[in-house]
Amino acid sequence: MPWRRYLMRLLPAAILAALLFLGFRPQPLLVDTEAASLGPMARTIEEEGRTRVMHAYRISAPLAGQVRRIELEPGDLVDAGQVVAVLDAQVAPVLDVRSVKAAEARVEAATATLDAARREVEAASAAAAFAEAEYARLRTLGAQQMVARNEVEAAASAAAQARALREAAAARLSGARHELDAARTALAFSGSLDPAASGVVALTAPASGQVLRRFLESAQVVAAGAPILEIADPALLEVEIDVLSADAVRLAPGMPVLFERWGEEAPLEGRVRRVEPGGFTKISALGVEEQRVLVIADFVSPPELWARLGDGYRVNARFILWQAEEVLRVPLSALFRRDGDWALFVLENGRARVRAVEVGERGGRFAEVRGGIAAGERVIVHPDRELEDGRRVRPRQNRD
């Protein structure tokens, strides 16, 4: 019949049109989704820090000398006032043959000078005795008016001069004795290794604690001010963290901080004690010049939890700027800007729908949503640039 022939002619065209429609129609876009949820959230700053003892005492050499071998080991307990190191005065240098001969000559010269000084003292003493006797004789005659007054005064002046010369000779004699003693000492003790020939200084611990560091072990010569031992109480620990100056202005004393990756799974609790007022420049691993500030924090957790930490141990500090126990949150990767406001894509009946939302606090992974979405609704994370409002989508996997 004619209508059957007509239908048979239209059927292939309809099938072809259906195949073309199915082949060229837009395919659903694969997306990752995650549900908006209620849960805890915090806004934090993370930086690396290291522990340090609060009160460390560094024992240094008060003068140049030779430190005897130190028997104390790091970790040994010491009491306040205990002798921890002994310092011998520096040994005199050994003289060569020429220097020895010169030293012997100085001894001989000092001996001769001493003999001459003794002769001068004898002569001056004799002259002073004569002048005083002459003055006494003339003074008696003057009282009897048997000599002129000016002769008595001249005798008094001569006696005074003689006494002064005697005292000067005695001073030269004393100086000659000291010069001879010095010359003999330089000759006798040059290169002497006898501890009794030199002074001994005992260095004591200023406070009770443990030996933290030992800067030398064997006996050796040290200069004045050279460090020998460092003593501290390892139970008194604090943490120093250098943070960016832009982050330091958001920190304040009393703010909570968590210490993580210190060796155990459970974090340790702490509290900011001081944000230092002075900053310093530091070059990062990428070669970027940064302005950093030191933040000092104390442990709040019981000491038995962190008793194995010591001085200079590395920790990761997470400062808590804001936290809440239960807020409506969505992944940060789901948010984007649209006409100056925050928005996201919500999965509705297999299609992506743009939804404007009000965003509150933002943390490391989540953002607080204060309106525009309900808990349980699925949002598209990492939306593709091709994604538009109303586009058919198909979830690739659920991220909950």
Options 3.60.150.10, 3.40.50.720, 2.40.50.100, 3.30.1300.10; CATH for 57-91+198-232 is: 2.40.50.100
Backbone angles phi, psi at 250, to 5 degrees: -95, 0
pLDDT band at 332 (very low <50, low <70, confident <90, very high): very high
What does the angle CA 287 – CA 257 – CA 375 come to, to the nearest 5 degrees? Answer: 100
- 238 pLDDT higher than 70: yes
- Which residues, 6 or more positions from 92, have their beta carbon under 8 angstroms from its beta carbon? 186, 189, 190, 191, 192
User: Is CATH 3.40.50.150 the classification given to domain 44-53+235-323?
Assistant: no
Give the fold, CATH level 3, of 24-41+326-398.
2.40.420
What DSSP state is assigned to residue 25?
S
Give the distance, in angstroms, between the CA of residue 318 and the centroid of all CA atoms in the same chain: 21
| pLDDT of 196 | 47
| pLDDT of 2 | 65
CB neighbourhood size of 320 (10 A): 13
Q: pLDDT by residue (tens digit) across 359-381?
A: 998 887 899 999 999 999 999 99
For the chain, percent of residues with pLDDT exceeding 90: 36
Half-sphere exposure of 244 toward its Cβ, with a 13 Å CA cutoff? Answer: 8
Whole-number Cα distances in Å, 63 to 6, 87, 201: 120, 9, 9
Q: Look up residue 309 and give its two tokens.
A: 């930490």
Dihedral sign from CA coordinates of 270, 271, 276, 280 = positive
Dihedral sign from CA coordinates of 322, 325, 328, 334 = positive
Backbone angles phi, psi at 191, to 5 degrees: 75, 15
Burial grade of 326 (CB within 10 A; 0-12, 13-18, 19 or more): exposed
Q: pLDDT by residue (tens digit) across 10-68?
A: 767 677 666 665 555 566 788 899 999 999 998 889 999 999 998 888 989 888 888 99
Amino acid at 395: P
Burial grade of 102 (CB within 10 A; 0-12, 13-18, 19 or more): middle
Q: pLDDT by residue (tens digit) across 107-138?
A: 888 888 888 888 888 888 888 888 888 888 88
| pLDDT of 103 | 75
Half-sphere exposure of 182 toward its Cβ, with a 13 Å CA cutoff? Answer: 10
The C-alpha atoms of residue 366 and residue 44 are separated, in whole angstroms, by 12
The C-alpha atoms of residue 34 and residue 378 are separated, in whole angstroms, by 5
